[in-house]
Structure 1
């Protein structure tokens, strides 16, 4: 059994909220860089929330980004070819 399976939901929820608030604060950590390094980003988190809640895609993005997603997306710089290549290599490591 994975020890995460016995973590109390209240503690897991508190840690998740702290992670989301941290990512909202760290606007310098671009999604493309998160994807290149860790294989996930804010959009992934929003999809995981939607999957857990049984909601259609897009419903949780505003929540995770802390503002309307379109507004957040408009401020993001375009990804460079190097960033995209690093992201693709990182995603291959995901299960």
Structure 2
């Protein structure tokens, strides 16, 4: 395995995060409940993890600000443009697969 410097690791992780966020912004057809049911996390989880990292670094970042970083727009705007009501099958799958993290 190639040895990476701490700086390289941080830069590559940041690049991978930016690519994931861009991918999720482009895939508005993939809903959060689908992500939760398949992968155990969604855009909101990602924004919460981002906010947690900011808090650990001593930076006060609001929930709305962290969501806007992930969604690329205010969360309410994204919901109005892209979010559809989950169907009964999606809701049932979520009840079974609900992740333990908050």
TM-score bracket relative to the smaller structure: 0.7 to 0.9
Trace 1:1-95 onto structure 2 (pairs within 5 A): 8-54=9-55, 55-75=61-81, 76-92=83-99, 94=100
Moved over 3 A (4+): none
Q: Where do 5+ consecutive residues of structure 1 fail to align?
A: 1-5
Deviations along 1:28-77, one digit per CA (max 9) or x if unpaired, are: 11111111111110010000000010134332111100111110011311
CA contact (8 A) 2:64 2:74 kept: no
Distance 2:62 2:71 in 1: 17
Q: Tell me, which stretches of 5 or more residues in structure 2 are unaligned?
A: 1-5, 56-60
TM-fit CA distance, 1:81: 1.9
- Return the index of the structure with the highest Cα Rg: 2
TM-score (normalised: structure 1)? 0.83
- Tell me the CA shift for residue 16 of structure 1: 0.5
Q: RMSD of the alignment, in Å?
A: 1.7
The total of aligned residue pairs comes to 89
